[in-house]
């Protein structure tokens, strides 16, 4: 299993690579968005600013979008999930447009939303294969999909309910950080790799 983490200047690559390396996968980091699709599974990491990441993806945006829409398994984590959408109020630039919708600021008294929060209303087989009901979040923005059916789980930050997980075809996005969510989070992440 060839897993590629696309490096577009976001942080957290080391702990993510470590969580993805289960001994049976070949995990690599790639900075070229076009070369990144030469894999069995693409991972869009979290931690960073939407505008900067969108600018880094711009030269290969159409190729990436077409590959993901064409069936390349993809997991977007935090910022990576947000990049699956059309755009963000956080900064300029276009997202990949794999999932219709926009990313907006979290509507809570305290922003960013940092810490452990419950995952609610889970409706995806991945949660059955690797149960996780609380996860670590670090986000000031949240995805607002145009179609509710893409949402597979929710979270609540101070009264703002937003998607914890979305799925469109073989593309999955999680707003939380499974690689920072203890053993349950790592198991959940590896379940997505096995699914791919």
The answer, yes or no, to whether residue 24 has pLDDT greater than 90, is no
106-119, pLDDT tens digit by residue? 998 888 999 999 99
Selecting among 74, 78, 90, 113, the annotated active-site residue is 78
Q: What is the pLDDT of residue 10?
A: 75
Q: What is the pTM of this model?
A: 0.95
Selecting among 74, 90, 113, 179, the annotated active-site residue is 179
* 149: annotated active-site residue: no
| Architecture of the 2-195 domain | 3-Layer(aba) Sandwich (3.40)
Helices (H), the chain: 13-20, 50-57, 61-69, 79-83, 125-129, 182-195
The percent of residues above 70 in pLDDT, for the chain, comes to: 100
Q: Answer positive or negative: Cα dihedral of 178, 80, 113, 131.
A: negative
* 90: annotated active-site residue: no
Sheet holding 87-88, edge to edge: 91-94, 87-88, 101-105, 141-145
74-106, pLDDT tens digit by residue? 999 999 999 999 999 999 999 999 999 999 999
Pairing type for strands 171-174 and 160-168 reads antiparallel
* 120: annotated active-site residue: no
Selecting among 74, 113, 168, 177, the annotated active-site residue is 177
Structure confidence at residue 12 as a pLDDT band (50, 70, 90): confident
* Residue spans per domain, the chain: 2-195
């Amino acid at each position: 299993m060839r897993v590629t983490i696309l490096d577009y200047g976001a942080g957290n690559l080391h702990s993510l690579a470590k969580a993805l390396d289960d001994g049976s996968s070949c995990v690599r980091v790639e900075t070229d968005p076009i070369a990144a699709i030469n894999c069995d599974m693409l991972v869009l990491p979290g931690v960073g600013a939407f505008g900067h990441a969108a600018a880094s993806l711009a030269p290969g945006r159409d190729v990436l979008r077409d590959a993901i829409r064409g069936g390349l398994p993809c997991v977007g984590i935090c910022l990576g999930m947000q990049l699956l959408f059309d755009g963000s109020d956080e900064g300029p630039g276009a997202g990949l447009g794999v999932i219709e919708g926009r990313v907006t600021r979290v509507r809570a008294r305290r922003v960013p939303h940092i810490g452990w929060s419950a995952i609610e209303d889970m409706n995806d087989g991945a949660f059955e294969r690797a149960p996780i009901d609380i996860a670590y979040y670090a986000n000031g923005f949240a995805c607002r999909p145009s179609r509710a059916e893409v949402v597979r789980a929710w979270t609540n930050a101070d009264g703002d309910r937003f998607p914890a997980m979305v799925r469109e075809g073989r593309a999955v996005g999680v707003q939380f950080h499974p690689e920072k969510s203890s053993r349950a989070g790592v198991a959940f992440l590896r379940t997505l790799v096995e699914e791919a």
